[in-house]
């Protein structure tokens, strides 16, 4: 296993979610390793810049869209009926361009991502490498490539080195995301598709 498992491809976008908001949220720049706003009052993109791309998170969807966040949790419960989910932890994820190999910060050990718009415009490369073992050459030797589709969900090991390779540098790719402070293996063991 290389740190990514396809879970399901039957997610249906709720018709009460206006997808146009994805393009219109304000952007706050963030430097990897710096503290984040612990208690945001509005929904905004926290944007990480990379040399050839960016990745952004809108971490608290429930602030402005609680019904959507609850809908996402209901869907995830069909995949992981024994995992306790908190609708206040559902977020949005946006990538554009290439996101260089990295491990996530803030105790985000794994996540469920659900493709919602332009999901197939990038390839996610994953590994089981931890940072001290990481070299670009080794990563390329052991990584696996996956391409998400709109309406598909997958579990990603974000505590291991992973990257995003864009297939169109001009397109923003959007996903719902739910991060865990628990290991990929622990969450995957609860998957009802096993």
Tokens read off for 85: 């989910």
4-32+42-188 adopts what CATH topology? Answer: Jelly Rolls (2.60.120)
Q: What is the rounded CA–CA span in Å between residue 174 and residue 20? A: 11
| Backbone φ, ψ for residue 74 (5° rounding) | -60, -40
pLDDT at 17: 93
Domain boundaries, the chain: 4-32+42-188
pLDDT at 107: 85
The chain-wide mean pLDDT, for the chain, equals 92
How confident is the model over 157-174, as pLDDT tens digits? 999 999 999 999 999 999
- C-alpha angle 146/152/158, rounded to 5°? 55
Is 60 exceeded by the pLDDT of residue 194?
Answer: no
Q: What is the rounded CA–CA span in Å between residue 28 and residue 46? A: 5
pTM: predicted TM-score of the whole model, two decimal places: 0.93
Tokens read off for 5: 């498992």
- Name residues whose C-beta falls within 8 Å of residue 53's C-beta, 6 or more positions apart in sequence: 95, 96, 97, 98, 99, 100, 164, 166, 169
CB atoms within 10 A of CB 54: 18
Chain mean position to CA 163: 12
How confident is the model over 52-103, as pLDDT tens digits? 889 999 989 999 999 999 999 999 999 999 999 999 999 999 999 999 899 9
Q: Which of 14-18, 37-41, 52-56, 123-127 has the lowest mean pLDDT?
A: 37-41
Q: Is 40 helix (H, G, I), strand (E, B) or coil?
A: coil
Q: Provide the pLDDT confidence category of residue 1 given band limits of 50, 70 and 90.
A: low
């Amino acid at each position: 296993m290389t740190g990514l498992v396809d879970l399901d491809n039957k997610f249906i976008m709720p018709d009460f979610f206006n997808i146009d908001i994805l393009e219109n949220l304000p952007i706050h720049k963030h430097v990897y390793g710096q503290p984040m706003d612990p208690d945001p009052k509005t929904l905004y993109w926290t944007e990480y810049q990379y040399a050839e791309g960016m990745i952004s998170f809108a971490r608290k969807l429930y602030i402005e869209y609680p019904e959507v966040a609850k809908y996402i949790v209901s869907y995830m419960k069909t995949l992981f009926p024994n995992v306790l989910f908190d609708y206040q932890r559902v977020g949005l994820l946006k990538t554009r361009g290439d996101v260089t190999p990295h491990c996530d910060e803030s105790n985000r050990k794994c996540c469920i991502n659900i493709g919602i718009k332009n999901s197939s415009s990038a390839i996610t490369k994953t590994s089981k490498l931890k940072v001290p073992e990481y070299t670009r050459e080794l990563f390329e030797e052991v990584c696996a490539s996956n391409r998400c589709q709109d309406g598909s969900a997958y579990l990603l090991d974000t505590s291991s080195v992973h990257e995003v390779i864009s297939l169109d540098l001009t397109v923003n790719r959007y996903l719902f995301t739910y991060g865990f402070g628990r290991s990929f293996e622990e969450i995957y063991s609860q998957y009802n598709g096993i």
